[in-house]
Amino acid sequence: QVQLVESGGGSVQAGGALRLSCEASVYIHSYCRGWFRQAPGKEREGVATIGTDGTTSYADSVKGRFTISKDAATNTLYLQMNSLKPEDTGMYYCAASDGVIGTSCYQLWSGTFAFWGQGTQVTVSS
């Protein structure tokens, strides 16, 4: 069983930056990993994913502002968020899954992922 723990959320003003981290309980470098977010009253949406070879995918709304990365040595996934906007507010979840075939890792679809963290809150004020 893979356990994921997010950290790094907080409250910032528009234009600010945050870096989220997600630590895994076991070695999952070969897994597809990603970040999702959910705002109050809205469905969970994909933010960014990263495949086993480091290929990344981003939602159009965060391209050029967010960067997903991972550190194999520490088994940690990161999301660097710059130029934050109020519409980025929400609960951010990290996710992971093995056995992901082809381009499924890059579809930003929550159904791809088997393991989820509890989430970390990000609030951006105007």
Q: What percent of the chain has pLDDT over 90?
A: 85
The pLDDT-based confidence of 101 (bands split at 50, 70, 90) is: confident
Above 90 in pLDDT, residue 58? yes
The per-residue pLDDT of the chain, averaged, comes to 95
- Asked if the model's pLDDT at residue 8 lies above 90, the reply is yes
Measured CA to CA, the distance from residue 19 to residue 87 in angstroms comes to 17
What Cα–Cα distance (Å) separates residue 97 from each residue in 12, 84, 90, 93, 117? 31, 28, 23, 14, 12
Half-sphere exposure in the Cβ direction for 15 (13 Å, CA): 1
Instruction: Report long-range pairs for 7-10 (Cβ below 8 Å, ≥24 apart).
Output: 7/120, 8/120, 9/92, 9/120, 9/121, 9/122, 10/121, 10/122, 10/123
Query: Quick one: average pLDDT of 102-118?
Result: 92
State the pLDDT confidence band at 47, using cuts at 50, 70 and 90.
Answer: very high
